Structure 1
Amino acid sequence: MIVSGSRSQSLAVALAAETGMELAPVSFDTFPDGERTVRVGDVADHTVIVASTVSNTSHVELLQLQDAAREAGATEVTTVIPYMGYARQDEAFETGEPVSARAMARAISTGADRVLTVNPHEQAVCDFFDVPAESVDASAQLAAPLSGLTEPLFLAPDSGAIDLAETVRDAYGTGETDHFEKTRHSGSAVDIEPRDASVEGRDVVLVDDIVATGTTMSESVAVLNEHGANRVTVTCVHPLLAENARLKLARAGVEAVIGTDTIEDPVSEVSVAPAIAPQL
């Protein structure tokens, strides 16, 4: 039985279709004082909760869903977190700062027997949970909408994301991979450009785990256009696209933006359900 969070309904439906599991009845409400509550109907002994924690409210909602599922009779709860908020706060940079990813993981662990996360920003986030936790790589799904690329180059914004670029390239079936390098000339002057590959006349696919503000991606697109790229497509597992990020990318000359349904957005063209289903 699958229990869906309010911000992961499309993925829950796709996952039910992929696995043959039933969707549990779930409702959400808000009290006059602003507090949220949930209600879960009949559940199975093994219940799968699918809930992206894209906001503080959705974090609270996930904890409530876990507790409600137990109250409804679930004896085993697998919690799937398609997008885990606070995951990038995985260390304290100064004394007195929280390791927020650890705090959230510990709270979620109280209501789960097992946790799956999709492409967390750092794999080490899984170590913060007090129950078995694994990451699922869904980046290969980003290749599905791509077709007819001219001399494709799959480009990561930095060396840390090159594995993602290689995975999408392999799923597409052909092409070259590379990543951007930064060269600092002074305190404020920084150049970014592809490390080795030429982009002139080629279709470039930028690949990253998350696009948040769109600033870095927009700067990268500008560089590619200066170097004569043919078309530029931005792909990301988590299309957070905060504030005016989508507008920034459009103004920079992006051909298309492709994301997954870890976060529900108009650009969420592909589902991560096929990657999650075998792990359940």
Structure 2
Amino acid sequence: MTSVALYSFAHGAAGAAELGLALGLDVRQIDIHTFPDGESLVRVPSVTETAIVYCPLDRPNEKLVALMLAADAFRRGGARRLVLVAPYLCYMRQDKAFHAGEAVSQQAVSRFLSACFDRVVTVDAHLHRVSSIGEVFPEIEADNLLAAKAIAHFAAAQGHGRETIVLGPDEESIQWVCQLADELGASYMVGHKIRRGDRDVEIEFPDDPEVAGNPVLVVDDIVSSGGTILSAVAAMRKRGAASIHVAITHALFDKAVEEKILSAGAKAVWSTTSVPHGTNAISLAGILADILRRELNE
């Protein structure tokens, strides 16, 4: 049987520890020493034939270089198979050149990671103009897991169910909204986003008299500036929702944005553990472990 170990950088230690517990693997830490000139020296501990590397790719620029160096160290140490677990996968939103001279970041990063790893596992990758994660990584194995079941399980434990209205802020959220509503046995509604700038967003919602007096669960895959969620929460409060909770897969916002969402009328903001964040409440360890178990048996 192939030897397997789970590795993590310090910034992903908490999520890696949860995943290690679910898989029955100890976590080995990858060390990074930063020199005064900004260069890095990466050291990996004892190398196994299959190395599973856990690394959320929020604030990605320095992390990508560290991953490249770690992959080199693993290969030199004798690893035959490298698996990247990046619950949040960066640069997926730039999937085309919107203006002359722009890079298509999604393709550039996918080529970079494909040169380093044999498999990439992520959660709720932001795929807009491509239909599957296989199109992003055509040369290696890739898995894009859905967080809906984990979110639904947590939301149900907080009292959400058939009376809940699951709200997606725009048409892009329909895939998450439908699955989450199905898991909860709830109805759903999707808005139409009008974006005038990075922080200037207006959302139109269809008239739905069921909102008044019922709980609403606002869901989105990525929240950074918070404009979309703020508009959605404010609209549901105006329509008389009994309560409003916000569930997010990837929390990329700061404390000030969270406070604005709460001030707008949300009772709580919950995020998955895809990115270390103060709102983390929904563990992804279970769904990640399920897809990774075959690595332990090969």
| TM, length-normalised to structure 2 | 0.85
1:30 to partner: Cα distance: 1.1
Distance 1:154 1:192, change over 3 A: same
Aligned ranges 1:204-215 → 2 under 5 Å:
204-215=216-227
1:166 to partner: Cα distance: 2.5
For the 8 Å contact 1:153–1:176, the answer to whether it is kept is yes
C-alpha separation in 2, matches of 1:30 and 1:190: 43
1:135-190: CA deviation from partner (whole Å, max 9, x where unpaired): 1112221123322237211111112212212322333x332111113589xxx996
**Which amino acid in structure 2 is aligned with residue 67 of structure 1?**
D
Distance 1:197 1:177, change over 3 A: farther
C-alpha separation in 2, matches of 1:3 and 1:233: 34
1:191 to partner: Cα distance: 5.6
Q: Identify which of 185, 200, 218 aligns with 2:212.
A: 200
Residue 49 (structure 1) aligned with residue 57 (structure 2): no
Identity among equivalent pairs (%): 31
1:60-94: CA deviation from partner (whole Å, max 9, x where unpaired): 22222222222332111111111111111111112
Distance 1:35 1:148, change over 3 A: same
Q: Identify which of 119, 130, 149 aligns with 2:160.
A: 149
For the 8 Å contact 2:19–2:285, the answer to whether it is kept is yes
1:127 alignment partner in structure 2: 135
1:3 alignment partner in structure 2: 7
C-alpha separation in 2, matches of 1:90 and 1:183: 20
Q: Identify which of 226, 230, 244 aligns with 2:256.
A: 244
* Structure 2: stretches of 5+ with no match in the other structure: 293-298
1:85 alignment partner in structure 2: 90
- Secondary structure of 2:98's match? coil
Residue 106 (structure 1) aligned with residue 118 (structure 2): no
1:197 to partner: Cα distance: 5.8
Q: Identify which of 14, 29, 38 aligns with 2:42.
A: 38
1:198 to partner: Cα distance: 2.5
C-alpha separation in 1, matches of 2:146 and 2:202: 32
- Secondary structure of 1:117's match? strand
Residue 223 (structure 1) aligned with residue 235 (structure 2): yes
C-alpha separation in 2, matches of 1:67 and 1:206: 42
Residue 234 (structure 1) aligned with residue 246 (structure 2): yes
1:158 alignment partner in structure 2: 170
| TM, length-normalised to structure 1 | 0.90
C-alpha separation in 2, matches of 1:103 and 1:193: 36
Residue 274 (structure 1) aligned with residue 268 (structure 2): no
1:203-224: CA deviation from partner (whole Å, max 9, x where unpaired): 1001111111111100111111
- Secondary structure of 1:7's match? helix
C-alpha separation in 2, matches of 1:57 and 1:96: 24
**Which amino acid in structure 1 is aligned with residue 214 of structure 2?**
R
Residue 177 (structure 1) aligned with residue 188 (structure 2): yes
For the 8 Å contact 2:85–2:120, the answer to whether it is kept is yes
Q: Identify which of 35, 38, 63 aligns with 2:68.
A: 63
For the 8 Å contact 1:5–1:52, the answer to whether it is kept is no
1:195 to partner: Cα distance: 5.5
RMSD: 2.2
C-alpha separation in 2, matches of 1:189 and 1:98: 25
Which 10-residue stretch deviates more, 192-201 or 96-105? 192-201
Distance 1:240 1:197, change over 3 A: farther
2:147 alignment partner in structure 1: 138
For the 8 Å contact 2:133–2:144, the answer to whether it is kept is no
1:196 to partner: Cα distance: 4.2
For the 8 Å contact 2:6–2:52, the answer to whether it is kept is yes
- Secondary structure of 2:210's match? coil
C-alpha separation in 2, matches of 1:124 and 1:242: 30
